């Protein structure tokens, strides 16, 4: 009996997979838990359309990530904050500030969770890692002391 999985099942398959299973397994386990449905000709055609749409969406997402990566690779973010005479900041800069600078200076929006960094506490040049999909891009950050008190 052929079925289409509606959920990921460890050891069996992933959502939208077409599998051949025993009738009893389907009737007693998969169907009551709504983990699979019978694979009819109409449902198989719908599955093909769904898979094609997912491939198109994935290729668009990959192209978008590539564009963002190219933009970030050439950017040096310029940040400024109040600092002591020794170059130590009065308030450390974190992901929020880098995220805002990326949006303003590079035109790239990322989530706070996509930024890997330690808080910036000293004036100078730093490197921040930004995750875009599966790729990790290093972004240069130049931290300067603000003029005035």
Cα–Cα distance for residue pair 121/100, rounded to 1 Å? 18
What the chain holds in terms of domains, given with CATH numbers, is: 2-63 (3.40.5.10), 69-145 (3.10.430.100)
Rounded distance between C-alpha atoms, residue 108 and residue 100, angstroms: 9
Neighbouring residues of 81: CB distance < 8 A, sequence distance ≥ 6: 89, 90, 91, 93, 143, 145, 146
pLDDT per position as a tens digit, 103-139:
898 888 888 888 999 999 999 999 999 888 788 888 8
Confidence band of 41 (pLDDT split at 50, 70, 90) = very high
**DSSP state letter for 75:** -
Q: For residue range 87-106, list pLDDT tens digits in order.
A: 888 899 999 999 998 889 88
Q: What are phi and psi of 7, to 5 degrees?
A: -145, 160
Structure tokens at 30: 């998969």
Whole-prediction pTM value? 0.60
pLDDT number for residue 148: 56
Q: Taking the CB of residue 126, how many other CB atoms lie within 10 A of it?
A: 19
Is 13 in a helix, a strand, or coil?
A: strand
């Amino acid at each position: 009996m052929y079925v289409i999985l509606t959920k990921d099942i460890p050891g069996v398959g992933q959502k939208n997979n077409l599998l051949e299973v025993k009738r009893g397994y389907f009737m007693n386990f998969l169907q009551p838990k709504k983990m699979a449905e019978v694979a009819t000709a109409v449902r198989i055609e719908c599955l093909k359309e769904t898979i094609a749409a997912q491939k198109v969406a994935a290729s668009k997402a990959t192209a978008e990530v590539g564009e963002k990566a190219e933009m970030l690779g050439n950017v040096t973010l310029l940040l400024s904050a109040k600092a002591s005479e020794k170059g130590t900041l009065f308030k450390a800069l974190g992901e929020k500030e880098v995220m805002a600078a990326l949006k303003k200076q590079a035109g790239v929006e990322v989530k706070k969770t996509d930024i890997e960094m330690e808080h910036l506490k000293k004036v100078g040049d730093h490197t921040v890692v930004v995750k875009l999909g599966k790729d990790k891009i290093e972004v240069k950050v130049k931290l300067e002391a603000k003029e005035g008190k």
